[in-house]
Structure 1
């Protein structure tokens, strides 16, 4: 299984769902810094990833990728019995915003279609639905609008 999602000379990004756990990410960082010529390792549990910086003059990229995959396979194989942590559910605010955006897009399309085809009442109703959904979206992000 390929865990390296981004590779440029001097930098690798490793992604695995188990890296959202800080303890697992720290074990991966410890094993990679111990066994590989890594200059810096940084975990990002929110993205389920670890970034490894190394000197590209010391080791070429293909070899670093192979060695990193081997170290990760050995390190993460020991945690295979553990269940990966569940993703947190989105906040109610973000879920409401998602539905508001979907409703705004759908009602805008319907309103424009009704304006073109002729039923004026349906055009007005779907226009107001669009305005309501837009107001919900703007209310949710009112702090970032004036930033």
Structure 2
């Protein structure tokens, strides 16, 4: 691999994860608008979900490319998202309250919040794996 192909390879590897995370955050913001949330809350919450979720998606893609999270094995991917998704959601919750409410506040019952988000994270892993392996030609593989 030459120095000129490294950025292209990195983009090819990371793009699916970044795109999946960013699109999920944008959808969340749109659903908030449709659900009647004020536009400022929907845009802020959507952006504060899209950005960290895109970073987590890139991290997941990178770990798949490195062989840490192997294709065809769901448990490591589920574990990754059971940890990453609650952290992303915590950033979104705290960040939205901080930006729009002007105060630092954890969600009510933070441990219950994180446990529930871990369950949702496993569901997110299912969708992430499906998109990576079905729609992006095997996702990030060496």
- TM-score bucket (shorter structure): under 0.3
- Higher relative contact order, chain-length normalized (CA < 8 Å, sep 6+): 2
Structure possessing the higher radius of gyration over alpha carbons:
1
Higher strand fraction (1 or 2): 1
Higher helix fraction (1 or 2): 2
Instruction: Please report the TM-score for the alignment, with normalisation by the length of structure 1.
Output: 0.24
